[in-house]
Chains A and B, each alone.
Chain A
Amino acid sequence: MAYLELDRVAKQFGAQTVVDDFSLSVGKGEFISFLGPSGCGKTTTLQMIAGFLDPTRGAIRLEDKDLTAIHPAKRGLGIVFQSYALFPHMTAAENVAFGLEMRNVPRAETAERVRAALAMVGLAGYEDRHPRRMSGGQQQRVALARALVIKPSVLLLDEPLSNLDAKLREEMQIELRQIQRTIGTTTILVTHDQNEAMSLSDRIVVMSQGHIEQIGTPQETYERPASAFVSQFLGKTNDFAATIDRTATPARLVAGSWSAPAPAGLNGPATVSIRPERIGFGDAGLSAKIVTRIFQGNHWLFQCESECGPAIVIRQNDGQEQPIEGDTVRLAWRPEDMSVRARVVA
């Protein structure tokens, strides 16, 4: 049964629809990411769950109770903001204690829970520091402790790692995942970083222009993108224009000098998408010329000019000799590695 449910939620600002027809069921303890470029409506959706915005249409339910009818102060959700929004005039411990104070938790229990929360995020001993005397990563941890100490029914994270440098971000990702696994809080993360979404979430909601493009596990969205947008947004991809050749029996899908049996149900022009790491150099297939090759340690990156336009190929550095710039190669891939979509011809 769904723990948190968004049912055809929409948000309009004036004539502009920012979020439209957003439906999602979140299971208890699940880690969900809203992934999309800026302006896709992911933060707006999060703010509707938090109660800072009211949905124009649709319903948001938590354990079958209408969440939109509850005042944001009474929803009991934990939120970590992009800017952390710590209270600068309070120490780390006072920041974390604030939510418990609002709930009239007894003083001794508050002290114990604050201590435990700060210890959990690795900030034991920082109780009396003020936020402005802490690094970005430490402030982030205080914000997380402040959100978690109230034992929220849902934890909402609004781009929490985007202000950290790359190395710290990676560390925090691992830590965030471990903490979430340990305490099992249902979590929704808003991010524009596909790596962050893939490494942290149980399921990803890919959004674009206020619509859901795809909901799926990180693997599903990466391996079987539901739309061109998803395949472009999640990792690199090659799109080749293909046509159906009906003169052959059975009909074949053709892109340049590459062809494969046409999938059932496909009649007109199509787009074939393949991830760069799934393409191999073979004896038959799409003819291409290598424009540049870049050595990246554990793999090689080739930029090719194929019959059907530019192509990227990634090959593992397995010690084998690789083609060099200017070589003519044939690009081949297994049919199960590609996804084929009908192509609208303008």
Chain B
Amino acid sequence: MSTAADDRSVRAPWVLTAPALMLFVGVLLIPLAMTVMLSFHDWGQYKGIEPVFILKNWREIATDPYYAEMFWRTFRIAILTTLLTAVLGAPEAYILNRMSGRWKSIFLLVILGPLLISVVARTLGWALLFGGNNGLVNKLLMSAGLIRFPIPFMFTETGMVIALAHVMMPFMVLSVWAALQRLDPQIENAALSLGAGPITIIRRIIMPQIMPGVLSGAIIVFSLSASAFATPAIIGGRRLKVAATLAYDEFLNTLNWPLGAAVATLLLVALVLIVVGSNALIERRYAEVFR
């Protein structure tokens, strides 16, 4: 009698979540598993894909420094993009938070802007802004005497970092902004009344409290930048590849699907490890602020 009731109460959650679980398994887990399996298959120019289990692709990635360089570049770009969005985005969110109602909504739209513009227009727009000797940015910097030669944009990591930072900025700003809104509105006055100057207030009171927001924004920006495809594809093309464009090339140009699958799997695993690891670190470090 009681066992029957127990059985039912044990089964009920599974039955109730079954439809969503099946969708999740069907459209996410199975394709992922197939990709992982694909990475262990063999491939030849003339024989195509052979469903066997070999480590050829993985060995190639592990031993050929070409792949190491590719992944290193991918993460270098992602880290620089994350730093740039944090350095610019956190103050931006702070200023946004202090604006009055109407200006706040206008500037929120400006900040969300990059997400509303097509990736092609946005990226090539940046290319025009730099545009060798005649671009606005390069001209300005050169006439200000800050640089002697124009900064190259197309086919460079600088270009990718700038274009990625632009489109990733909203994620950082919104994440920091959410943290700022949890702040007690009187907290700055409290610090002020205790004798703290504006820099001390930002450094000792505001920064520690928005740090979780900066870090969760950083995780979003980092993982999106490391797996970004469109922006690096437009700026780097075939000449400057990152992991995502490399996998794409293997799939659609070389037609070496198993190798492409191995690159994609490695990128996914590396990202998951980095994100989960840093998330655990942050939650432990900022346990008091998160409560």
Contact = CB atoms under 8 A, between A and B. Distances in A.
B186 A83 contact: yes
Among A89, A130, A150, the one with the most B-chain Cβ atoms within 10 Å of its Cβ is A89
What is the interface residue range for chain B against chain A?
Answer: 20 to 34
Among A72, A77, A87, the one with the most B-chain Cβ atoms within 10 Å of its Cβ is A87
Nearest to A75: B193
Nearest to A131: B288
B198 to A, nearest CB: 9
B59 interface: no
Interface string B28-57: 000000000000000000000000000000
User: Taking chain B's interface residues, is the majority helix, strand, or loop, or is none over half, making it mixed?
Assistant: helix
B190 A89 contact: no
A103 B193 CA distance: 12
A88 B288 contact: yes
Given A102-B194, A150-B195, A89 B186 contact: no
B190 A150 contact: no
A102 B194 CA distance: 7
B192 A88 contact: no
A76 B194 CA distance: 7
B201 to A, nearest CB: 9
A84 B189 CA distance: 11
Contacts of A50: 189, 193
B64 interface: no
Interface string A50-78: 11100000000000000000001111111
Interface string B269-291: 00000000000000000101101
Contact of A98 (B184, B191, B208, B286): B191
B189 A85 contact: yes
Contacts, number: 72
A130 B194 contact: no
A150 B209 contact: no
A72 B184 contact: no
B195 A99 contact: yes
Contacts of A89: 208-209, 286, 288-289
A215 B216 CA distance: 53
A81 interface: yes
A343 interface: no
Given A81-B190, A83-B186, A85-B190, A76 B195 contact: yes
A52 B188 CA distance: 10
Contact of B195 (A86, A88, A103, A132): A103
A211 B208 CA distance: 41
B196 interface: yes
A147 B189 CA distance: 12
Nearest to A130: B288
A81 to B, nearest CB: 4
B241 to A, nearest CB: 43
B195 A73 contact: yes
Contacts of A103: 195
B125 interface: no
B12 interface: no
Contacts of B209: 87-89
4 closest Cβ pairs, A-B complex: A102-B195, A99-B194, A85-B190, A85-B186
7 contacts: A72-B189, A73-B193, A73-B196, A89-B208, A89-B209, A89-B289, A102-B195
Interface of A: 50-52, 72-79, 81-89, 98-99, 102-103, 130, 132-133, 146-147, 150
Given A77-B193, A98-B191, 13 more contacts: A50-B189, A51-B193, A72-B189, A73-B192, A79-B189, A79-B190, A85-B184, A85-B187, A89-B209, A98-B204, A103-B195, A132-B288, A150-B194
